[in-house]
Amino acid sequence: MVTVTTPLKAESRDLNFIYNGGIHALKGINMPLYEKKITALIGPSGCGKSTFLRCFNRMHDLYPGNKYQGQIVMHPDNTNVLDAGVDPIEVRMRISMVFQKPNPFPKSIYENVAYGLRVRGERNKRIIDDKVEEALKGAAIWDEVKDRLHDLAFNLSGGQQQRLCIARALATDPEIMLFDEPTSALDPIATANIEELMTELRDKLTILVVTHNMQQAARISDYTAYMYLGEMVEYGDTDRIFTNPTRKETEDYITGKFG
Amino acid sequence: MGLEISDRLAKKFRRNLIERGIEFLLLLAAMSAVFTTVAIVSILLYESYTFFEHVSLLDFLTDTQWTPLFADAHYGIMPLVSGTVTTAAIALAFAIPVGTIGAIYLSEFASHRVRETVKPILELLEGVPTIVFGYFALLLVTPLLQKFIPGLPTFNMLGPGIVIGIMVIPYIASVSEDAMRAVPMSMREGSYAMGATRFQTAIRVVTPAAISGIIAAYILAISRAVGETMVVAIAAGQQPNLTFNPMDSAATITAYIVQVAMGDLPHGSIGYQSIFAAGLVLMLMTLFFNLLGHFTRKKFREAY
């Protein structure tokens, strides 16, 4: 059950998002993100869940003409990450992201994980070495790669590449980690590994995950939000959403009648 | 029924015939390039063989003078090689940085509108006849350089070198830009999501990801620069000089070939044969760079 004492890490307040070309993809989204919990976004394709996720680290800024309205406020400092005066690079330093398809850089395993530290200007090799090892251990891939840290990352399997991408995102000690359908390109065993890893990461940071897989949301998340046509239909404790949804649309979706 | 089957067989036979005919035509088209190359190489080898019956390979490689048309004839290829290498090196020293930076700008920084305007203009530059560039070097670039470098002779390697550089910039920029644009957006997003700037993303992620295409662009440019004829023939002086000094006048292999081919040397004379030997060296040089490029690309090939 939701306990009142769980602190908020971030929340979206009346968030609207309009794509270049005028598509109104998010309509008045209000949602809390509780600290050191996993929040899952579910809903049919095109419902806006990935769009919503990508607002948190301002990924939409990479493409011209997109418009945000409303706020995503981070706690405890009350920074509105969507504020025009807030540097998106600073936002991304605090909120990291793991993508749908593993996207390692054309570099060695080591350099992939060191990347975030290097772009932050870290030059001390000892610090980087330690951070890389810590991140790879944190992403449960250290044992598999410790003897070949300087191999090209492309030589890893898909599941390993995704864990490497998680390590890369971990290395910079983010406060929030965004996962955009992190297992949709992986086989069931690799998926199970990533899910286990995510539940372990909950001890360290706040997670927001988009998933197409409702069982996955049920297995790993603490809170679930169901989105449809750019609106947040229902948000709540995962157990309650899956056992006793209050909205008919949510029930239809999770029981497979729709979507 | 029987009729129908034989009907179908007849059709099948005709279909096969057409298929084979088309396949043969396609093969012929593909082989035409191979035949041409083989023909060129055999003529070069054949004519050079006659040349080397008169001139020892050792003299050819070690003599420091190239004067096949003088009474006191010397057949050292090195003065031509030095001219070729120097002008090509000047060209690349200029074109590789400018072309690469241009490609990075066009691919990663320029707005859609700027890119769509600049790229066609760049590609237009590829189509300018090289003789125009030759006079551009002789009548504009060299006089301009003479203002900054007193004592620079009218015929020198620096001016033509720079102009060849200008000529190959579009190749480097255009081919490298294609390679960079082929890097998937997901890789850029991965970099931005880590808090990287646009510049960091361009230099640390996109460029290494596109490196095999960028190297291909460089190889294309090297072959162009080494094989460039008119610019050096017009603006570098046509005097074989064993020198790597850009201020000196010199002749390149190609410049020598046009010079001799335009004169009236009797067919079969040693001077006439010498152009084939020079051509063979030129071909070996470009072959070397192409092979080098092939293996470097293999080494750097990225799968994404």
Partner-chain contact B304 A106, CB within 8 Å: yes
Contact of A170 with chain B, judged by CB distance below 8 Å, is answered with no
Helix residue spans in B55-157 (DSSP H): 57-62, 78-104, 112-125, 130-136, 142-148
Predicted confidence band of residue B75 (pLDDT cuts 50, 70, 90): confident
Give the pLDDT confidence of B142-182 residue by residue, as tens digits. 999 999 988 888 899 999 999 999 999 999 999 999 999 99
Identify the three-state secondary structure at position A27.
strand
- Is A259 part of any domain? no
Q: What is the mean pLDDT of residues A44-54?
A: 92
pLDDT over 90 for what percent of chain A? 72
Residue of B nearest to A170 (CA): B194
- If one counts every other C-beta atom within 10 angstroms of the C-beta of residue B266, the result is 8
- Domain CATH for A17: 3.40.50.300
Strand A223-228: give its sheet, edge to edge.
A95-98, A176-180, A206-210, A38-42, A223-228, A231-237
Q: What string of H, E and C letters represents the secondary structure of B270-291?
A: HHHHHHHHHHHHHHHHHHHHHH
* A22-42 pLDDT tens trace: 899 999 999 999 999 999 999
Is residue B304 a contact partner of residue B206, using CB atoms and an 8 Å limit?
Answer: no
Q: Is A105 on the interface with B (CB under 8 A)?
A: yes
Stretch (H or E) spanning B300 = helix B270-300
* Distance in Å, alpha carbon of A115 to nearest chain B alpha carbon: 8
| pLDDT at site B297 | 76
Report pLDDT for B197. 93
Q: Distance from B217 to chain A by nearest Cα, in Å?
A: 19
Residue A38's DSSP bridge partners are A207
Residue B214's closest CA among B222, B225, B90? B222
Q: Which residue has the higher pLDDT, A162 or B267?
A: A162
Contact B193 A97 (CB under 8 A): yes
CB neighbour list of residue B292: distance below 8 Å, 6 or more residues apart: B219
Residues of the domain holding A109: 8-254
Reported as a pLDDT band with limits 50, 70 and 90, residue A144 is very high
Per-residue DSSP letter, A172: T
User: Structural domain tally of chain A?
Assistant: 1
Interatomic CA distance for residues B46 and A194, integer angstroms: 66
Residue of B nearest to A118 (CA): B196
What part of A 85-104 touches B (C-beta under 8 Å)?
89-90, 92-93, 96-97, 99, 101, 103-104
Q: How does residue B238 score in pLDDT terms, banded at 50, 70 and 90?
A: confident
Q: Is A119 an 8 Å CB contact of chain B? A: yes
pTM: 0.82
Give the whole-angstrom CA distance, residue A168 versus residue A184: 19
The pLDDT of residue B233 is 86
The stretch B82-99 carries a mean pLDDT of 94
Sorted by sequence, the CB contacts under 8 Å of residue A53 that are 6+ apart come out as A41, A178, A180, A208, A210
Pick B186's closest partner by Cβ from A90, A101, A152.
A101
Contact A172 B194 (CB under 8 A): yes
Q: Which residues of B touch A118 (CB under 8 A)?
A: 204
Q: Tens digit of pLDDT for each residue in B100-122? A: 999 999 999 998 899 999 989 98
State yes or no: pLDDT of A61 exceeds 60: yes
Contacts A179 to B, Cβ<8 Å: none
Residue B1 has pLDDT above 70, yes or no: no
pLDDT score of B239: 83
Query: Under an 8 A CB cutoff, do A119 and B195 touch?
Result: yes
What is the reported pLDDT for A6? 82
Contact B197 A119 (CB under 8 A): yes
**Which residues of chain B are at the A interface, by a Cβ-Cβ cutoff of 8 Å?**
111, 184, 186-197, 200, 204-205, 208-209, 211, 302-304
Q: Are β-strands A223-228 and A231-237 bridged in parallel, bridged antiparallel, or unpaired?
A: antiparallel
Are the beta carbons of A177 and A96 closer than 8 angstroms? Answer: yes
Domain assignment present for A136: yes
Asked whether residue B36 carries a pLDDT value surpassing 90, the answer given is yes
Tell me which DSSP letter residue B266 carries: P
**What are the helix (H) ranges across chain A?**
49-56, 88-94, 109-119, 125-138, 142-145, 158-170, 188-201, 214-220, 238-243, 248-254
A164 touches chain B (CB under 8 A): no
Q: How far apart (Å, rounded) are the C-alpha atoms in residues B255 and A84?
A: 60
Give the residue among B4, B158, B196, B142 at the shortest CA–CA distance from A112. Answer: B196
> Residue B71 has what pLDDT?
79
Euclidean distance between CA atoms B297 and B175, whole angstroms: 14
Interchain pair B209, A62: CB under 8 A: no
Provide the pLDDT for residue B302.
53
Could you give the C-alpha distances from A229 to A46, A53, A241, B58, B104, in angstroms and in order?
A: 7, 15, 19, 81, 39
Rounded to a whole number of angstroms, the distance from the CA of B298 to the nearest CA of chain A is 14
Sequence-ordered list of residues with C-beta below 8 angstroms from that of B275, at least 6 positions apart, any chain: B256, B257, B260, B261
| pLDDT surpasses 60 at B210 | yes
Please tell me the least confidently modeled range out of B16-25, B124-133, B239-248, B265-274.
B265-274
Q: Do A168 and B194 touch (CB under 8 A)?
A: yes
Beta-strand pair A223-228/A95-98: unpaired
| Distance in angstroms (rounded) separating the CA atoms of residues B117 and B113 | 6
Tokens linked to B22? 């088309």
Confidence grade of residue A3 (pLDDT, cut at 50, 70, 90)? low
- Of residues B226 and A4, which shows the higher confidence score? B226
Distance from CA of A118 to the nearest CA of B (A): 9
Residue to test with chain A: of B111, B187, B194, B212, most A Cβ within 10 A: B194
- Among partner residues B190, B195, B303, which is closest to A105 by beta-carbon distance? B190
Helix, strand, coil proportions of chain A in percent (round to 5)?
A: 40, 25, 35
Report residue B196 as tokens. Answer: 């990287």
| Residue pair B97/B148 in contact by the 8 Å Cβ criterion | no
Query: B270: number of CA atoms within 13 Å, CB side?
Result: 15
**Model confidence over A160-183: pLDDT tens digits?**
999 999 999 999 999 999 999 999
Strands A8-18 and A67-74 turn out to be antiparallel
> For residue B195, what are the CA distances in angstroms to A61, A172, A174, A202, B6?
13, 10, 11, 22, 72
- Distance from the Cα of A97 to chain B's closest Cα (Å) equals 6
Paired tokens of A256: 């497979």
Question: Residue A185: which pLDDT band, with cuts at 50, 70 and 90?
Answer: confident
Residue scoring higher pLDDT (B265 or A141): A141
Per the omega criterion (within 30 degrees of 0), is the bond before A245 cis? Answer: no
Instruction: Let me know if B297 is exposed, middle or buried by CB neighbors in 10 A (0-12, 13-18, 19+).
Output: middle
**pLDDT score of A240:** 92
The count of other CB atoms within 10 Å of the CB of residue A87 is: 12
Chain mean pLDDT for chain A: 91
pLDDT at position A179 is: 95
How far from each other are the two terminal CA atoms of chain B, in whole angstroms? 56
Q: Which of A92, A106, A118 sits opposite B193 (nearest CB)?
A: A92
Residue A1 counted as domain residue: no
Name residue A39's amino acid: T
* Residue B262 pLDDT class (50, 70, 90 cuts): confident
Cross-chain CB nearest to A62 (options B111, B192, B194): B192
CATH class belonging to B78-300: mainly alpha
Contacts of B208 in chain A (CB under 8 A): 105-107
pLDDT > 70? residue A81: yes
Number of A to B CB contacts under 8 A, please give it: 72
